[in-house]
Amino acid sequence: MALVRDRRQLNLRLPLPEISERRPRFALSLPPTSLSSAVACNAITASDLENIQVLGHGNGGTVYKVRHKRTSTIYALKVVHSDSDSTVRRQIFREMEILRRTDSPFVVQSHGIFEKPDGDIAILMEYMDAGTLDTLLKTKGTFSESALAGIARQVLSGLNYLHSHKIIHRDIKPSNLLVNHNMEVKIADFGVSKIMCRMLDSCNSYVGTCAYMSPERFDPDTYGANYNVYAGDIWSLGLTLLELYMGHFPFLPAGQRPDWATLMCAICFGERPSLPDVASEDFRSFIECCLQKESSKRVEYGLGVAIVDRFEDEGVKLAKVFPDLNTSILDDMEVEAEVVEPEATRIEASNREVSMDDAVEG
């Protein structure tokens, strides 16, 4: 006959805390309900800003020069309109994500991101009062080697920062490098950039301006061996410096109207652009290291800075190339080279910046 034991009744009840202890000891923040809440921390809203002038248009948006009403601080406000197509809006969200992650003196700084009442998305950024390197090339002419050395060092530092955070820009070119009156150069426009999630991610899609694409992005089957996903930015930097030195897009004769097929053949199968005889050996060496068709052979940050140091004369620093920094650089900048007439020496931006209309994220 089996014995049945009484089950022990466990008291699992816990006493309630005192009423004074039920309140949280710290403030709980509500989750953001829209983009407008992201700027609340910065205490800047759309109503705090007044428009001064339009700085530029393009790709479904407008960039304004704006003033903060209370502090009189000048900013640049990049606005993507609510009726823009899905590709443009996807690019602005990608740029927002990257700008939130970055904090470098060589990358343009974001001061706030918010949604305006009409549905437009806006990014408030630091204002670079000298425009872009493309602007300076068009208005002031070509750059000396010593000026290019300062530019190269800053862009290399910016790329080194981005690449160390697994960010590939994918559209380095003169019009995406902003400049202020101190000739500080900062990388901007991350609409087609990519954040690398895995080491073996590819980055060979047709996004960005094809004139500055590296060979492996045009033809990954031929140039994809030993693929370095970050090296495409170095190729674009080399082309950018060469354009600023020569006064026109390097792979084509001055004034030639490019098309996609011409660009692909010139970049993938053409010879490296030749530099004028007056170019120094160290400058030639740096450009050759950037424009290696095999990505794994391109220059990396440390060696790149070492070469830059050699082709920048010790006694000629950027401040001496541009001596009067207290006035507008666009009025008083002195370039140590013959100023070339724009009509005869450069490809018009609308022709040179041949972009893929159906760009998709790689």
Q: Where are the domains of the chain?
A: 35-126, 133-352
Please list the residues that pair with 51 across neighbouring strands: 66
* Residue 240 amino acid letter: T
43: pLDDT strictly greater than 70? no
35-126: CATH number? 3.30.200.20
- Average pLDDT of the chain to the nearest whole number: 75
For residues 200 and 264, the model is more confident at: 264
Give the single-character DSSP code of 312.
S
Assign 185 a pLDDT band (cuts: 50, 70, 90).
very high
For residues 186 and 333, the model is more confident at: 186
Residue 118 tokens, joined: 């009409």
- The reply to whether the predicted model has a pTM over 0.75 is no
9: pLDDT strictly greater than 70? no
Query: What's the pLDDT at 167?
Result: 93
- Count Cα atoms within 13 angstroms, Cβ side, for 14: 3
Within 10 Å of residue 248's Cβ, how many Cβ atoms? 21
Task: Output the CA torsion sign for 30, 31, 34, 40.
Answer: positive
For residues 240 and 318, the model is more confident at: 240
Protein fold of 133-352: Transferase(Phosphotransferase); domain 1 (1.10.510)
199: pLDDT strictly greater than 60? no
Query: Pairing relation of β-strands 194-195 and 167-168?
Result: antiparallel
Asked whether the beta carbons of 272 and 171 are under 8 A apart, the reply is no
Asked, colleague to colleague, whether 35-126 and 133-352 share their fold, the answer is no
173 annotated binding-site participant: no
Query: What's the pLDDT at 158?
Result: 95
Assign 133 a pLDDT band (cuts: 50, 70, 90).
very high
Helix and strand element counts for the chain (H, E): 13, 9
For residues 75 and 48, give the distance between their C-alpha atoms in angstroms, rounded to a whole number.
12
Catalytic residue among 134, 171, 189, 233: 171
Query: What's the pLDDT at 4?
Result: 56
Lowest mean pLDDT among 94-108, 292-306, 345-359: 345-359
User: Using one digit for the tens of pLDDT, what is the confidence trace for 115-130?
Assistant: 878 888 899 999 999 9
In three-state secondary structure terms, 107 is strand
How far, in Å, are 51, 232, 305, 316 from residue 180 at the CA level?
A: 20, 26, 22, 19
For residues 217 and 77, give the distance between their C-alpha atoms in angstroms, rounded to a whole number.
32
User: Using one digit for the tens of pLDDT, what is the confidence trace for 70-108?
Assistant: 999 999 999 988 777 888 888 888 888 899 889 999 999
User: Using one digit for the tens of pLDDT, what is the confidence trace for 258-268?
Assistant: 788 888 888 88
Alpha helical stretches, state H, the chain: 86-101, 133-140, 145-164, 215-218, 220-223, 231-246, 260-269, 281-290, 301-311, 318-321, 329-332, 342-345, 349-352
Query: Is 171 among the residues known to form the active site?
Result: yes
Percentage of the chain lying above the pLDDT 70 cut:
67
